Structure 1
């Protein structure tokens, strides 16, 4: 695997429209081993039913697990535009703020392997997605449809 590139923000990432933008709170990109609020890095992947591509990462300073809300701001700003974020643990405030941005947080125990989490997600995309993922996919499809109609309107289409 190529070494990942520094990515200024999730919104700067380019991925196919059928891909989910999935971030992993990880020290080195191999395992989900970081608490959301004190995560030292996030690695962003574009994941579809049949492909997965590492798009890049962003590093953050070392943070204490002290309840200080200010440390969340740069992480939330970087993640804006992501669909899912995996982390080892996450507090209620961070969860609410991610959901408000349209990002679904997933807490995974035991420091699972990023590639295994991607494969599990892809299996759901190919088969029966869990309820939370089904809702996310429906919302993503609706926003894609809406933007297509906006583009048609901008072009002067008349239905």
Structure 2
């Protein structure tokens, strides 16, 4: 299965809050998350049968829509082939919010470092984004802290990359 459509946003996002300066969110504090959504406003899809995902970059003081991916309509028929393209579309995400997710999908998502999060039907995406921002400001939960650590460049790797580029002090 492949994408039907993919939209990547070049510029956008919420403005920083009053107590944060422009550019206040350090990239180390930002995460990408996805929402299984047909209307791009609510979490209204089961992961395996999701017609689309919206992907946001979220920091403590701002969030921005990065991508919207649309798939053809699928039934929840147990066909595991449909999961690969969806999981690939979420490669940069630390989590995916959905109404439900099957055991096979959970295993494949977790293997890729993506935490599936089940929410109540018709949950507003904007509310989940604000909750995630608050969590980033107050200190991430255990799963989010681990996800951020996995996504952060390893200190040793950074120095090796600089050396490979011929970086000198």
TM-score by length of 2: 0.78
Give 1:101 shift.
Answer: 1.1
Q: CA RMSD in A?
A: 2.0
Distance in 1 between the 2:115 and 2:156 partners? 21
Give 1:151 shift.
Answer: 2.2
- Correspondence for 1:80: 91
| Residues 147, 74 of structure 1: alpha-carbon distance in 2 compared, 3 angstrom cutoff | same
1:149 aligns with 2:159: yes
Distance in 1 between the 2:60 and 2:79 partners? 38
Give 1:120 shift.
Answer: 0.5
Q: 1:68-99 CA distances to partner (integer Å, 9 max, x unpaired)?
A: 10111211121122221111110111011111
- Mapping 1:2-151, distance limit 5 Å: 6-7=7-8, 17-18=27-28, 19-141=30-152, 143=153, 145-151=155-161
State the SS of the aligned residue for 1:6.
Answer: strand
More helix as a share of residues = 1
Distance in 2 between the 1:147 and 1:85 partners? 28
Distance in 1 between the 2:90 and 2:108 partners? 11
Distance in 1 between the 2:117 and 2:35 partners? 9
Q: 1:105-152 CA distances to partner (integer Å, 9 max, x unpaired)?
A: 1111232100100000111100132211121122223x3535422321
Aligned residues: 146
Distance in 1 between the 2:147 and 2:159 partners? 20
